[in-house]
Structure 1
Amino acid sequence: MSKLPILMYHNVCQSESGSNKLTISVHNLERQFQYLTDNSYKTFHFSELEKMKTIPEKSIILTFDDVTENQLIYALPLLEKFKLKASFFIPFKCIAKTDLWNESTEEPQKIMTIEQLKKLPTDIIELGYHSYEHNKYQMLSPAQIQNDFLKCEEEIKNHNLTVYPALAYPYGNYPKESADKANFKILLSENKMKFGLKIGNRPNRFPFKDNYEIKRIDIKGLDNLVVFRLKIKFGKLKLF
């Protein structure tokens, strides 16, 4: 089995003064992508992983939640510059709106429009699911979860979007009690989800032990390059 770190990003800003837990500056993101390139890391889409039984030694997955407009403006050009692939996860209710779930004092972030999503280069960006309403699955009944899936599918069909069935759980949250978890995974399977992503903050082993409990490593905006390198290798340590 091979080690596979999956990195989780959110917003990207122009100035380092705007960096915080969920927002990384263009400068820091570029340094991280430069490091991956200089060290011969290879990126993949989930649709590629589905067909693979083994992966190269230095494999890594880049993921961005929420399809914010700042990702289009700042992250996409860097992905293109370094020839890296990434997965962008869509909260469908918020398309062409703002991050409505964000109740912090920070300025609301614009979510990409349908037109912007359709223009993303598919060789670089693969779109995935981030639920419909960006609610915590653990707080929803099975009927509510199923309704959330149905609304996602309606948006995809109505707008003729191409979205790969990989689901990033909002807040990394999903039912944890054994019966609820089992029912949740049945719903994922019935709705044809291939992969489900939590947080976990550790590199995965590939092939995955459980396709619906794939771990992502939270890359924070204030992480320096040393922390970034340690996270890729070990995940989140108690040191940071």
Structure 2
Amino acid sequence: MIFFAILLGLFFSYFRIYLYFFPRKRLTILMYHKVEKEGDTELTVSAENLEKQFKYIKEKAYRSVFFKEIHSEFRKKIIITFDDGYYNNYEFLPSLLQKYDLKATIFISTSFIENGYDENKMMGFEDLKKLSSNFFEIALHSHSHQNFRTLSNSEIENDLKLNMQILESHQIQYSKVLAYPYGKYPKNGAEQEKLFHTLKKLGIDFAVRIGNKINYFPNAKPYELCRIDIKGEDSLQRFKLKLILGKLKLF
């Protein structure tokens, strides 16, 4: 009996189930990338499945917010994020967000906007400016989209400064929130401390990794907020479970 109680306690702790009973302290952040008419790959969700997910979010009374509204006292806050700045976001998201009265934050890597990204069609700066501020928030994804674990602290600082300067030069309003490229940042204590000091110096309020966990908010780690990775092959049932549990596997 005691062993079962311990296992149950570990389950509740690992998946942060306890936050389900404290909706004002619960912050869910979803991570998407591409949207296509048809798609079920790791980074590409179909427009049909995305609409089903948005419809479910709305039906379950989640309150969609921007990062600049993160301190609001809404119950069941959810932040919907998209990485990189793909043109298909511009094609599919405005109508879906408006239909379900939701908001999305797009993390922009400015080198992708300037120079393209492999064979992907990316948004341009004029496209970014056309996104309605009622439904879209622009945020930072670095300039060059390099793994922060491979860069020195000064290289990271210069890259982020360039990310912000380019957005400002094109008169694009953005929130000082960072999504780490590839979700990676230094794990070494000293290097991590230097990075967080740099982020604070640059005025960056929050940074997001992956982690696949529901966040307790407010918390003492604003530069380690977790996102839940929504994959193109996720069924609606799997999506629903991710909204409750975040990570679906123990290992």
Whether the TM-score (by the shorter chain) exceeds 0.5 is yes
1:146 to 154, 157, 162: 157
Contact 2:108/2:139 (8 A) holds in 1: yes
For 1:92, the equivalent position in structure 2 comes to: 110
Identity %: 40
**Distance in 2 of aligned mates of 1:82 and 1:181:** 39
Does 1:42 pair with 2:63? yes
**In the TM superposition, what is the alpha-carbon distance from 1:239 to its structure 2 partner?**
7.9
**In the TM superposition, what is the alpha-carbon distance from 1:178 to its structure 2 partner?**
0.3
Residues 193-235 of structure 1 show CA distances to partners (whole Å, capped at 9, x for unaligned) of 0000000000001113310000000000010011101101111
Contact 1:11/1:23 (8 A) holds in 2: yes
For 1:68, the equivalent position in structure 2 comes to: 86
Contact 1:65/1:130 (8 A) holds in 2: yes
Matched AA of 1:29? L
Contact 1:33/1:82 (8 A) holds in 2: yes
For 1:8, the equivalent position in structure 2 comes to: 31
For 2:222, the equivalent position in structure 1 comes to: 211
Contact 1:24/1:221 (8 A) holds in 2: yes
Once structures 1 and 2 are overlaid, which stretch shifts more, 55-64 or 228-237?
A: 55-64
Matched AA of 1:222? E
- Gaps of at least 5 residues in structure 2 are 1-21
2:44 to 23, 27, 46: 23
**Distance in 2 of aligned mates of 1:79 and 1:213:** 27
1:194 to 189, 193, 205: 205
* Structure with max Cα Rg: 2
**Distance in 2 of aligned mates of 1:143 and 1:59:** 35
Matched AA of 2:150? M
Contact 1:8/1:64 (8 A) holds in 2: yes
Does 1:59 pair with 2:77? yes
**Distance in 1 of aligned mates of 2:115 and 2:26:** 37
2:232 to 214, 217, 221: 221
Once structures 1 and 2 are overlaid, which stretch shifts more, 123-132 or 56-65?
A: 56-65
Matched AA of 2:241? L
Q: Which has the higher helix share?
A: 2
For 1:77, the equivalent position in structure 2 comes to: 95
For 2:170, the equivalent position in structure 1 comes to: 159
Matched AA of 2:227? R
Query: Once superposed, which parts of structure 1, at least 4 consecutive aligned residues long, lie more than 6 Å away?
Result: none
Contact 2:141/2:181 (8 A) holds in 1: yes
Number of matched residues? 228
CA-based RMSD of the aligned residues comes to 1.5
Q: Secondary structure at the match of 2:26?
A: strand
Contact 1:166/1:194 (8 A) holds in 2: yes
Q: Secondary structure at the match of 2:92?
A: helix
Contact 2:140/2:164 (8 A) holds in 1: no
Q: Secondary structure at the match of 1:193?
A: coil
**Distance in 2 of aligned mates of 1:167 and 1:239:** 27
**In the TM superposition, what is the alpha-carbon distance from 1:82 to its structure 2 partner?**
0.7
Alignment TM-score, normalising by the size of structure 1: 0.91
For 2:8, the equivalent position in structure 1 comes to: none
**Distance in 1 of aligned mates of 2:250 and 2:231:** 14
Contact 1:13/1:19 (8 A) holds in 2: no
**Distance in 2 of aligned mates of 1:156 and 1:27:** 32
